[in-house]
A and B are shown apart, each in its own frame.
Chain A
Amino acid sequence: AQTVTQSQPEMSVQEAETVTLSCTYDTSESDYYLFWYKQPPSRQMILVIRQEAYKQQNATENRFSVNFQKAAKSFSLKISDSQLGDAAMYFCAYRSAKTGNQFYFGTGTSLTVIP
C-alpha cells in the first residue's frame, strides 16, 4: 500500500504570513492524484486543492498553492496571507489513478494561526 507522510505534527504561522506544510509519499505508480484536505474544529473535511500527477504545473487555488515535485515524491502546501480561519488540521492524501479509488491519508498537521 502507498504511504503518505506528514512530518510536521504541528505548525504555527503569524496572521498574514506564509506557511508551508510538507507531505511526501511513496508509490511505484506514475499516474495518480494528490489532495490536501482541511479539517477545522467543526470536523468537516474540506477539499483545499488537488493535483493530477501527469500535470507538471503546480495547482493553485487563491491563497493556496502546491509545490509538486514528482521525482522527489513531494507535495507541499503553501498558504499565503494566512488568516485566522485557516487554523485547522491539514491532511495530505494520495489516490491511484488505476488501482481503485481508495485514499491514503497522512497523519495530519495541526496549523495554528497567531493573531
Chain B
Amino acid sequence: GAVVSQHPSRVICKSGTSVKIECRSLDFQATTMFWYRQFPKQSLMLMATSNEGSKATYEQGVEKDKFLINHASLTLSTLTVTSAHPEDSSFYICSANSASGGWTDTQYFGPGTRLTVL
C-alpha cells in the first residue's frame, strides 16, 4: 500500500516551453502532497506544499508563477514548469501524506521526473 506514481519519468523539452508533471497516489487518498527538487548528489529541496482544493504554499525563493501547482483531487497533484529554461533542468520528486492507509505521518515518494531543458 501507499504507492505514489509520477508521470513522465523523463522529459526533454526546448527552452521556453511548459512541462506538466503528474503525481498520483494510487491506493490511498493524499490530503497533502509535496514537491521537491533534487540536484545531483544533494538532498531534497522542498519547493511547495499543496493541499487538496486550496492554493499551494511555496517555500521562500520558489517562484509560484513559474512552478504552478494544482491539487485538484485527493489523488492527483500536478506541477507545471512554465517557460522552462536550462537552469530548470533537475530531478523533481513528489510525495504524499496519506489520509488513510499506511502511516498518516509518513511521506510516500514518487519515483521522480528527470527534466532536461535544451
Contact = CB atoms under 8 A, between A and B. Distances in A.
Interface of A: 33, 35, 37, 42-47, 50, 91, 95, 97, 101-103, 105-108, 110
Given A95-B105, A97-B105, A101-B32, A43 B111 contact: yes
Nearest to A104: B46
A25 to B, nearest CB: 14
Q: SS class of chain B's interface: helix, strand, loop or mixed?
A: strand
Contacts of A50: 103, 106
A102 B49 contact: yes
Contact of A105 (B43, B49, B97): B43
A35 B106 contact: yes
Contacts of B32: 101
B58 interface: no
Contacts of B111: 42-44
6 pairs of A and B residues whose beta carbons are closest in the complex: A45-B109, A44-B111, A43-B112, A105-B43, A107-B43, A33-B105
Contact of B105 (A44, A45, A101, A107): A101
B78 interface: no
Interface residues of B, number: 21
Nearest to A44: B111
B72 interface: no
A103 B36 CA distance: 11
13 contacts: A37-B109, A43-B91, A43-B93, A43-B111, A44-B112, A46-B109, A95-B107, A102-B46, A102-B49, A103-B95, A103-B107, A107-B43, A108-B42
Contacts of B41: 110
Contacts of B91: 43
B40 to A, nearest CB: 10
Contacts of A106: 43
Nearest to A103: B107
A111 to B, nearest CB: 13
A97 B106 CA distance: 11
